[in-house]
C-alpha cells in the first residue's frame, strides 16, 4: 500500500476568468458562505457562470487563502476562499449560506442585519414548528427569524419565494419526495405512504469516513438512520400544508455513485385511483413547470445528472391498489444548489431558468 499525497487542485496558467460570461452591469452582488462544502462550491460555480448575478466572495474556514478552483478543480471559480467577515460584506444583495444545521442560523441572521436576502441550505429555517425543530436539532439560535422564512421548494411556493427575505432551501430527500407526492396530497389521495430514498455518496457531503471512502462505499448498498430520519418532519409539514396530514415512513440508503437521488414513494390511496386519472393529475400538475418532467418510463437518475430537472413517474398498481411515484433528481443540483439558484432567480426578477441550462 502506498498513500498518495493529497490532490491539491490545479493552479492554471490559462486565465479561468476568460470562461466566465460577464455579469451585466448592476447585477445583484452575491456571497456564498461555506463554499468549501459540496453544496456551497456548486452554488458558487453556478453563480460564477450566471449572466445575471455577480459572485463577489466565497468563504470557508478550512481552506482560507486557496482559490476555489484549486480546492475543486472541476469548478472554474478563481476567487480565493476567505474567512467569513459579515460586516465587511456590507452592500451585497444576497447570500447563500451553506453551513451545517445549527451553525447556519446565526450567519443567516448576520446577513439579514446587513439587509441582504438569504438562501439558507441548512435545515434551520425549513420547519414551521419550533418544537419540531428543537426535537431534532436542539435549541434554535434565531427563532425570531422563523417568520421571515419561506420553504424553498420552488414548485410549491413560487410566489412566496419571490418575495421572501429568507428562503429555506429544502433538503434533497424532501425535494424529490414532495415533487412525487404533492399532486396526490393536494388531491386528498394519500392515506398512507412509504418513501424509500436512494442517494449517491455526494449526499454525505465532504465528510471523510467509512461511508464515503470508495473502498467502503463502492460495491455497497447501505441503509442508514433507520426509523429515525430528520427529514421526516420536513416532508410531513409540507404534505400537511397541502392537505395530507399523516405520518410518513421514510428510509434513506447510500448507493455507489456520486450525484443522483431517487425517491420511490408507495402510496395507499384514500380511494381507488386508475392509471388514467393519475396521468391526468400529474400532467396537469407539471404542465407549466420548466424543471419537472413527467416521464413515460421509469426515470434513472443518470437522466437528470448535473441538471435542475426532476423526472417523475406515476403508476397505479392494479394488483395492490397502491400508487407508485418515482422522482429522480441530482441531489446536489435540484436537491440543493441549482434549486437555490432557481430561487435566487425568482427573488431578483431573473428568468427562472437563468444560469441553469
Positions 57 through 86 that interact with a second copy (CB under 8 A): 73-74
Determine, following the binding rule CB under 8 A, whether residue 209 of this chain makes contact with a second copy: yes
Nearest to 252 by CA among 225, 277, 212, 275: 225
Q: How far is the CB of 73 from a second copy (least distance, A)?
A: 4
Q: Read off the C-alpha cell for 78.
A: 478563481
Residue 138 or 223 having the CB closest to a second copy: 223
Residue 38 or 133 having the CB closest to a second copy: 38
Q: Burial, 25: exposed, middle or buried (Cβ in 10 Å; 0-12, 13-18, 19+)?
A: exposed
Determine, following the binding rule CB under 8 A, whether residue 33 of this chain makes contact with a second copy: no
Among positions 254-293, residues that touch a second copy (CB under 8 A) are 254-262, 264, 266, 268, 283, 286-287, 289-290, 292-293
Judged by CB under 8 A, which of 91, 143, 218, 351 binds a second copy?
A: 218
Determine, following the binding rule CB under 8 A, whether residue 231 of this chain makes contact with a second copy: yes
From 6-14, 125-133, 135-143, 180-188, give the range in contact with a second copy by CB under 8 A: 6-14
Enzyme catalytic residues: 172
Determine, following the binding rule CB under 8 A, whether residue 352 of this chain makes contact with a second copy: no
**Cβ atoms 267, 233 nearer than 8 A:** no
Nearest to 197 by CA among 252, 136, 279, 146: 252
Contact flags string 293-332 toward a second copy, x per CB under 8 A: xxxxxxxxxxxxxx----x-x-xxxxxx-x-x-x-x--xx
Residue 5 or 25 having the CB closest to a second copy: 5
Q: 314: left (phi > 0), else alpha (psi -120 to 50), else beta? A: beta
Residue 4 or 87 having the CB closest to a second copy: 4
Q: 315-346 burial by CB neighbour count: b if 16+ within 10 A, else e?
A: ebeeeeebbbbbbbbbbbbbbbbbbbbbbbbb
Sequence length of the chain is: 357
Q: How far is the CB of 225 from a second copy (least distance, A)?
A: 6
What is the C-alpha separation between 142 and 266, in angstroms, rounded?
A: 36
Q: How far is the CB of 11 from a second copy (least distance, A)?
A: 4
Amino acid at each position: 500500500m502506498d498513500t498518495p499525497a493529497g490532490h491539491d487542485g490545479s493552479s492554471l496558467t490559462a486565465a479561468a476568468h476568460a470562461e466566465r460570461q460577464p455579469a451585466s452591469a448592476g447585477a445583484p452582488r452575491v456571497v456564498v458562505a461555506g463554499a468549501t462544502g459540496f453544496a456551497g462550491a456548486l452554488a458558487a460555480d453556478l453563480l460564477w457562470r450566471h449572466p445575471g448575478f455577480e459572485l463577489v466572495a466565497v468563504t470557508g474556514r478550512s481552506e482560507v487563502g486557496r482559490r476555489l478552483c484549486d480546492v475543486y478543480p472541476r469548478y472554474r471559480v478563481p476567487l480565493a476562499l476567505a474567512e467569513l467577515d459579515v460586516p465587511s460584506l456590507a452592500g451585497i444583495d444576497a447570500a447563500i449560506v451553506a453551513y451545517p444545521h445549527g451553525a447556519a442560523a446565526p450567519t443567516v441572521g448576520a446577513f439579514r442585519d446587513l439587509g441582504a436576502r438569504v438562501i439558507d441550505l441548512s435545515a434551520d429555517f425549513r420547519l414551521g414548528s419550533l418544537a419540531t425543530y428543537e426535537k431534532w436539532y436542539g435549541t434554535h439560535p434565531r427563532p425570531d427569524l422563523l417568520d421571515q422564512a419561506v420553504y424553498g421548494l420552488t414548485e410549491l411556493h413560487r410566489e412566496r419565494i419571490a418575495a421572501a427575505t429568507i428562503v429555506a432551501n429544502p433538503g434533497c430527500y424532501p425535494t424529490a419526495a414532495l415533487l412525487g407526492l404533492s399532486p396526490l396530497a393536494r388531491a386528498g389521495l394519500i392515506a398512507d405512504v412509504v418513501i424509500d430514498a436512494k442517494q449517491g455518496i455526494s449526499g454525505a457531503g465532504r465528510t471523510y469516513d467509512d461511508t464515503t471512502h470508495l473502498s467502503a462505499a463502492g460495491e455497497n448498498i447501505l441503509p442508514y438512520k433507520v426509523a429515525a430520519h430528520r427529514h421526516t418532519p420536513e416532508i410531513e409539514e409540507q404534505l400537511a400544508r397541502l392537505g395530507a396530514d399523516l405520518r410518513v415512513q421514510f428510509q434513506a440508503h447510500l448507493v455507489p455513485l456520486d450525484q443522483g437521488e431517487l425517491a420511490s414513494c408507495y402510496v395507499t390511496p384514500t380511494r381507488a385511483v386508475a392509471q388514467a386519472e393519475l396521468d391526468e393529475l400529474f400532467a396537469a400538475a407539471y404542465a407549466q413547470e420548466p424543471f419537472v418532467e413527467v416521464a413515460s418510463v421509469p426515470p434513472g437518475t443518470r437522466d437528470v445528472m448535473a441538471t435542475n430537472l426532476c423526472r417523475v413517474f406515476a403508476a397505479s398498481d392494479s394488483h395492490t391498489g397502491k400508487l407508485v411515484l418515482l422522482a429522480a433528481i441530482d441531489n446536489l443540483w435540484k436537491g440543493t444548489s441549482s434549486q437555490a439558484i432557481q430561487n435566487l432567480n425568482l427573488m431578483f426578477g431573473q428568468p427562472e431558468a437563468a444560469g441553469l441550462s
